[in-house]
Every structure is written in structure tokens, then in C-alpha cells.
């Protein structure tokens, strides 16, 4: 059994069992509290550049299958678990977790105290970390880790380079790819939408030339401050086309209207976050994966808060008071997680129809 080390920026070192790919990596270490859905999480591009810790003690027991990919090429840096299942048992199983990580060139470490690790992250916040073989010099690895500057072009790394269609027969939707999950495509396809996926740096003019009925701003990794071109695009289409933003799309819509964002201490990553809809008092359990949030303190008057997280009162949704645009911080597409909030895709369809009825556009 090969041994692998997990070295944290604060000097903490965990020793565990190596599985997955046999490579050394460095990234930001985060934790996910979901009890299932490891395949969807690992393939979620919002984890680009991050070492993903699962707090649930057994990961990999139902294997990996063809149906649960949120992207074909995952870009998380590494996987940390208490125990990985060597044998997978499920009728859909095609690969074990170990085989999957080897194929995708992602290293894993098992057999460490993930509870203790999570407590460190909660206390000190997300930090840089390295996964490396035990044979390497710990002192040298620690020096390298402290000198590492993490990339800021996360969205550019994961966004599609060229536009592509997902044909349908209904409303014409342009989906701006900041690191989209396939489940967003699935939800739009369920509603018969004709979808065109475009790169993150597509201009407002290029989007308008596609004559969309609505525009979706997808989820994605990193800091919204790193994609200022997206703010210009949003300002260029707002008021002309209904807009629905999810996660990164939510933060960008808010920033385009004058809001600010901040980095959370350890973020929201899991599938059991309770969110209250302020207008109705309705509480949904939601899937979330973000390290930044929209600031409540200096929210511009043109935006109203529609949803808030029950525990920390962070902003979970906004709606423009005068333009057909709204967004949520959580993932109404779930995958993994509860489908409580999938009705928001229907709300988007209704917003498009109401806008067209009001403006006479079709």
C-alpha cells in the first residue's frame, strides 16, 4: 500500500493511503458535506483547481456511471476521503472510484481523519494544500507550497472555447458557460429549449445576434472579480433579454448592477443548505458549491434580495426591480442534491413569456 501525504499551508500534515493517479498536486483545499453524489461533485467544474474533501466517511461504494457526469473532463486537483470503497456495488456501476480517478489523472488520499481536517478548514478558512508521495522531502514540499501562487484564470480554463448547440424546439436560450454543469442543460432540455452554449467572454453584441428569448449565466469556479468582461456583457443585454443566473452567474449579475462580493471563510459546499424565500417564507433545501458571496451591506437599490441562507443569512437570491433579471446562489438543477428549487427554471420560462407578451417580441 503506497503512502501519500496531505500538507496544509498552516503546516499541518496528514499521512494516508494513496489511490487514484500517482501525481503530486497543489490547490485550494475545501470540504463538501454531501452524503452522496461524489461523482457529480468531482466532475463539477466549480471545483476547478481545488482539492476536494468529502466529510462523509465512505466514498465510492456505488462506483461511477455514465449518467452522473457534470462534465466529461473534471478539473478538481485531488480527492480526500476517510475511506474509499475498493468494490463498487450498483446496477449502473461502470468504474470504481479508484479507476475513475486514475483515468482522469486525479490523485486521492484515504485513511485520514477528515473530521479533524474539516475542523481545521472551518477554523482557519480555506487554504492551499499539497498532495504528494511520502518519499518526497516534506520541508521542500512545504516551501514549495508557501511559494505557490494559485491561478486566477479558473473560468477561462473550464469554459468552452467555441459555441455549440443543444437543439430543441421551444424557447431559444443562450447559456453562457462559466464552467457549467450538465444538469443545467438537462433542465432546459426538459422544457424543450433550443440551447446555444457560448464561451464566457462572448460579447453582448454576439449574444444579441443569436436572437435569444432568454440568457442563462451558468455556475463556475473562482472569483467573480476575475472576469470583468462578463460584467460588460451583462450590462449590454440587461433589459433587452430576460436573464437567469446561477451561482457564479448570480454573483456576476449582482456585480454588473453595482453590488460587491466577498470571499467566504470556508464557503458553502454541500446538498443540505436551507434557503428561505423571503416573499413567501418557503424553505428549500439546496445544493451549493461556492466560496464567494454577494454582499448584503452595499446592495444597490435596483436589486432586491429574494432568498437568504437560514444559518448565516448570506444572500442567496436577487431580482432586478425594473428589468427582467434574477439569480440564485444555489443550484436549482441539483445534481447532486434535492430538487426543491427546480421550479426556478419554470419561473424563468414564465419570465420569458411575460416579457415577450409585454414587448410584443417573439
Spatial distance between the Cα atoms of 66 and 341, rounded to a whole number of angstroms? 25
How buried is residue 244: exposed, middle or buried, by Cβ count under 10 Å (0-12/13-18/19+)? buried
Residue 225 designated active-site: no
Is-contact 28 263, C-beta < 8 A?
no
Instruction: Compute the chain's Rg from CA coordinates.
Output: 21
Say if residue 37 carries a ligand binding annotation: no
Say if residue 144 carries a ligand binding annotation: no
Say if residue 220 carries a ligand binding annotation: yes
Which position among 44, 68, 213, 247 bears the catalytic label?
247
Q: Which residues contact 285 (CB under 8 A, 6 or more apart)?
A: 271, 272, 273, 274, 275, 337, 338, 340
Cis peptide before 164 (omega within 30 of 0): no
Is-contact 324 243, C-beta < 8 A?
yes
Say if residue 248 carries a ligand binding annotation: yes
Say if residue 222 carries a ligand binding annotation: yes
Which position among 182, 268, 307, 331 bears the catalytic label?
331
Which position among 68, 177, 284, 333 bears the catalytic label?
333
Say if residue 264 carries a ligand binding annotation: no
Residue 333 designated active-site: yes
Say if residue 291 carries a ligand binding annotation: yes
Spatial distance between the Cα atoms of 67 and 164, rounded to a whole number of angstroms? 21
Residue 273 designated active-site: no
Binding residues: 46, 220, 222, 248, 251, 289, 291-292
Q: Which residues are catalytic?
A: 247, 331, 333
Binding residues for L-glutamine: 46, 220, 222, 248, 251, 289, 291-292
Amino acid at each position: 500500500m503506497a503512502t501519500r501525504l496531505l500538507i496544509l499551508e498552516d503546516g499541518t500534515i496528514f499521512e494516508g493511503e494513496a489511490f487514484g493517479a500517482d501525481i503530486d498536486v497543489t490547490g485550494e483545499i475545501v470540504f463538501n458535506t454531501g452524503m452522496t453524489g461524489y461523482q457529480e461533485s468531482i466532475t463539477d467544474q466549480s471545483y476547478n483547481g481545488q482539492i476536494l474533501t468529502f466529510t462523509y466517511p465512505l466514498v465510492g461504494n456505488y462506483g461511477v456511471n455514465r449518467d452522473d457526469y457534470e462534465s466529461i473532463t473534471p478539473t478538481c486537483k485531488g480527492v480526500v476521503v476517510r475511506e474509499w470503497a475498493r468494490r463498487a456495488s450498483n446496477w449502473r456501476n461502470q468504474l470504481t472510484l479508484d479507476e475513475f480517478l486514475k483515468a482522469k489523472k486525479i490523485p486521492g488520499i484515504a485513511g485520514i481523519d477528515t473530521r479533524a481536517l474539516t475542523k481545521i478548514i472551518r477554523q482557519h478558512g480555506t487554504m492551499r494544500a499539497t498532495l504528494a508521495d511520502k518519499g518526497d522531502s516534506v520541508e521542500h514540499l512545504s516551501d514549495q507550497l508557501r511559494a505557490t501562487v494559485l491561478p486566477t484564470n479558473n473560468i477561462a480554463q473550464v469554459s468552452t472555447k467555441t459555441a455549440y448547440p443543444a437543439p430543441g424546439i421551444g424557447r431559444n436560450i443562450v447559456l453562457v458557460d462559466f464552467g457549467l454543469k450538465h444538469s443545467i442543460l438537462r433542465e432546459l432540455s426538459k422544457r424543450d429549449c433550443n440551447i446555444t452554449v457560448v464561451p464566457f467572454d462572448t460579447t453582448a453584441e454576439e449574444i444579441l445576434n443569436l436572437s435569444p428569448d432568454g440568457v442563462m449565466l451558468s455556475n463556475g469556479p473562482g472569483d467573480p472579480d476575475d472576469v470583468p468582461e462578463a460584467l460588460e456583457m451583462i450590462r449590454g443585454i440587461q433589459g433587452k433579454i430576460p436573464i437567469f443566473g446561477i451561482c457564479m452567474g448570480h454573483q456576476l449579475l449582482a456585480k454588473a448592477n453595482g453590488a460587491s462580493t466577498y470571499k467566504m471563510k470556508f464557503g458553502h459546499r454541500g446538498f443540505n443548505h436551507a434557503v428561505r424565500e423571503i416573499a413567501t417564507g418557503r424553505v428549500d433545501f439546496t445544493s451549493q458549491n461556492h466560496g464567494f458571496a454577494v454582499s448584503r451591506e452595499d446592495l444597490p437599490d435596483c436589486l432586491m434580495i429574494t432568498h437568504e441562507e437560514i444559518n448565516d443569512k448570506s444572500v442567496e437570491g436577487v431580482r432586478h426591480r425594473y428589468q427582467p433579471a434574477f439569480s440564485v446562489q444555489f443550484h436549482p438543477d441539483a445534481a447532486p442534491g434535492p430538487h426543491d428549487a427546480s421550479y426556478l427554471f419554470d419561473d424563468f420560462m414564465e419570465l420569458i413569456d411575460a416579457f415577450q407578451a409585454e414587448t410584443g417580441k417573439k
